[in-house]
Amino acid sequence: MKKRRKITAADVERFLDKLAEIMSKAGADAHLGVPLWKRLERELERLREEEAIVAAARERVTRSRERMEARSA
C-alpha cells in the first residue's frame, strides 16, 4: 500500500488558486464552486493553526533545552 503525503496549507492555497481560476471562467455557474471554496477555506484555517502549534512546540523544546544547558553549565 502506497503511503500518501500529508496535505499542507501551501497545498490548499494552490487548490484555492485553481478553484478561483475555474470560478472566474464559469460565468453564471460560478456559484457552484462556493461550497468547495468554503470547505477549502476551513481546511486552510485548520492547517495553519495546526502548523502554528507544531512550530510553537518546537520552539518550546529549543528554549527548554537552552535553559537546561544553562543550568548545567
Question: Is residue 25 within 8 Å of residue 64, measured between CB atoms?
Answer: no
Where would I find the H helices in 1-73?
Answer: 9-25, 34-72
Alpha carbon 38 to its chain's center: 15
Q: What is the pLDDT of residues 17-31, one digit of tens each?
A: 999 999 999 999 999
Q: Per residue in 53-62, pLDDT tens?
A: 999 999 999 9
pTM for the predicted model, two decimal places: 0.79
